[in-house]
Amino acid sequence: MLDIQTQLFEAEDIRFGPIDHEKHPEIESRWTHDGEFMRLMELKPIRPLSPAMVKKQYEDIEKEMDESRNLFYFSIRARSDDRLIGKAVIEWIDWPHGNGYVRLGLGDPKDRRRGLGSQALSMLLRFAFAEANLFRVTAIVPAYNEGAMRLFQKFGFIEEVRRRKAMHRDDEFWDLIAYGLLASEWAAGKGS
Amino acid sequence: MRDLFRGALVRLTSESAEDIARANTIWMRDSEFHRFADSEPMRLWSEKRQREWAEKSIEKDPDDSYFRFGIRTLADDRLIGEIMLRIDWPRADGILGIAIGDRDYWGRGFGTDATDTLLRFAFHELNLRRVTLGTDTYNKRALRSYEKSGFRIEGTTRGEMLREHTRVNSVWMGILREEWQARQEGAR
């Protein structure tokens, strides 16, 4: 049977939702003032953002989703009260070849290490492979982000590329790792 | 001090919008070239359109995070291709792209010479820590050329391209500043 009644945006404890331009800028602005979170979420130099700056970013994101059509952006909400807890993204999609890059994060340390990231990645991959019909997805992770490395490995991602010393943080050099997962691998591992 | 823009066979140049548009209009009609140069399904753009893009990109210059050079032969000043470097400054990493549009100059060392010249610019003028590039595994000439310039394979992304119903891997390569330096000393 064709499984189209399955809700793509609903997991056990979380759900995906759209951006809320009124409520979310305040919350995300708080996250950007957490230097530890920002370094795990971003490869670019980090900077704290005011709510107005976050608002502008949200507008840019929706504009890009609308015009370029190679980006999917989801806010992650707690199922219990719909509050914003993170974001999950498929970006830089190369449609003719079926590639995309995935990225996700939970803003508040209290929401981490509770399996919510796994639920989000599980939904994001289902969307990438069963809805957007991508052939493969890639995740770029600096070698100091052990949490992310474990998460992607758990979902069957394979380490494909290791750019040597491509990150320089706190006077140390780190490799930048590219993890890849193919649709066929995702489909084979889904039941386990 | 030596002329940084001059290699053994070619020199790196700044091209006018007219010249680069005229050359690209000819090169892009070669679909084999296009499949080496870009993953996008090809569109055939008019010379007028390409000139407008080139003009726009020249307006943005000088842009310290993007360097785009024409490649001209030393022997007869012929424009044979382009080479680009996009720089991520906080990481001191440059992404290199090169395309030899004139197929008479394929497999004869002109691309390798342009790459060598650009690497010297990247490490001696820009002081980058590393240079990165990606290529398709079916582009054997490019792979050999990059290896000659000292790039090492850092990994393979599986099936990144679909060509003629066949999934093709992409190869990612990198050269670190110290590796490039050691090669210069070895060559002396």
The per-residue pLDDT for A5 is 87
pLDDT at A136: 98
pLDDT score at A141: 98
Select the residue of B91, B156, B157 nearest A166 (Cβ to Cβ): B91
Nearest CA in chain A to B177: A165
**pLDDT mean across residues, chain A:** 96
**Does B159 sit within 8 Å of A182, measured CB to CB?**
yes
Q: Cα–Cα distance between A5 and A179 in angstroms, integer?
A: 31
Domains of chain B, first to last = 10-187 (3.40.630.30)
User: What is each CA distance from B186 to B118, B152, B175, in whole angstroms?
Assistant: 19, 17, 16
Which of chain A's residues have a Cβ under 8 Å away from the Cβ of B169? none
Q: Predicted confidence band at A3 (pLDDT cuts at 50, 70, 90)?
A: confident
**pTM given for the model:** 0.94
> What ipTM was assigned to the predicted interfaces of this complex?
0.90
Q: How far is residue B59 CA from its own chain's centroid?
A: 21
Beta bridge partners of B163: B166
**Residues A6-52: tens digit of each pLDDT:** 899 999 999 999 999 999 999 999 999 999 999 999 999 999 999 99
Q: Choose among A59, A60, A89: nearest CA to A74.
A: A89
Whether A191 shows a pLDDT value over 60: the answer reads no
Contact list, A136 vs chain B (CB under 8 Å): 157-160
Contact B158 A167 (CB under 8 A): no
Residues in chain A: 192
Residue B56 pLDDT grade (very low, low, confident, very high; cuts 50, 70, 90): very high
- In terms of Cβ atoms closer than 10 Å to its own Cβ (0-12, 13-18, 19+), residue B93 is buried
Do residue A168 and residue B92 have CB atoms under 8 angstroms apart?
Answer: yes
Cis peptide upstream of residue A109 (ω within 30 degrees of 0): no
Note the pLDDT tens digit of each residue in B74-133: 999 999 999 999 999 999 999 999 999 999 999 999 999 999 999 999 999 999 999 999
Give the sign of the dihedral formed by CA B55, CA B58, CA B60, CA B65: positive
Contact B157 A180 (CB under 8 A): yes
